[in-house]
Amino acid sequence: MNERALSLHDISKTYNAGKPNEVQVLRNASLTLDRGEVVALVAPSGAGKSTLLHIAGLLDTPDTGAVVINGADMTRLGDRARTAARRGQVGFIYQFHHLLPEFSALENVVLPQLANAVPQRTAEARARDLLERVGVGARADHRPAALSGGEQQRVAFCRALANGPSLLLADEPTGNLDPETSDQVFAALMALVRDTGLSALIATHNLELARRMDRVVRLDAGQVTPTPSAS
């Protein structure tokens, strides 16, 4: 039986619970992601997509519901176990690259591996390979300030994949780029995802990009619903 890469079961999340400014962001939201599947998450601003991604990636906890990654229920893990699961199984990409400015592109991809006890030489070899795959190998020794926006985001992709996660979560990964660069960078991301066999949940406002993924779901009124087409 094909084990799901990610299953979210009846996830609810409320901020400021019990207060006058209480906001229920998620209401029994459910979502499944098969191994190797790339799913677009389309949502209006403020709908809670970042909250959903943070819960899926073990950065936040739901009030109710279960988060299952690769068949293992992560919901009741302690902080240390959650950190270990997140570090080993989940990669994150954000709209802004968040690269460390004092380090080179190569070092930005090496550092997460060193934190995961990967030997320096092995980490550097993997970092160079990833950077080559997305077309920025020649820029490996440059710091982020010397890179274009598209190059910075490609390095961020590599950093997210540095520890070999099985699940990739991306929050508007090309939202800060112009249309032409966005298209090129998204193509590089999809090639990298397909090549490594990752499962990916990618939040985007760009319906053209959404159409290039395997499936589109929508987050609205706190729930996830299937979308027949991205048109």
**What are the DSSP calls for 54-84, one per residue?**
HHHTTSS--SEEEEEETTEE-TT--HHHHHH
Of the pLDDT bands very low, low, confident and very high (cuts 50, 70, 90), residue 230 is very low
Half-sphere exposure of 121 (CA within 13 A, CB side): 0
Check whether 229 has a pLDDT greater than 80.
no
* pLDDT value of position 228: 62
As a whole number, mean pLDDT of residues 154-160 equals 92
Check whether 73 has a pLDDT greater than 50.
yes
Rounded Cα distance, 131 and 141, in Å? 11
CATH number of the domain at 198, please: 3.40.50.300
The secondary element (H helix, E strand) that includes residue 129 is helix 120-133
Rounded Cα distance, 159 and 144, in Å? 13
Kindly report the pTM of this predicted structure.
0.87
pLDDT tens-digit readout, 177-203: 788 888 888 888 888 888 888 899 999
pLDDT tens-digit readout, 113-148: 998 889 999 999 999 999 998 889 999 999 999 999
Question: What is the Cα 18 distance to its own chain's centre?
Answer: 31
* pLDDT value of position 44: 79
Structural domain for 173, as ranges: 4-227
Number of domains in the chain: 1
Percent of the chain with pLDDT over 90: 49
Average pLDDT, the chain: 88
Tokens for 176, please give them. 């800060």
* pLDDT value of position 1: 42
Check whether 19 has a pLDDT greater than 80.
no
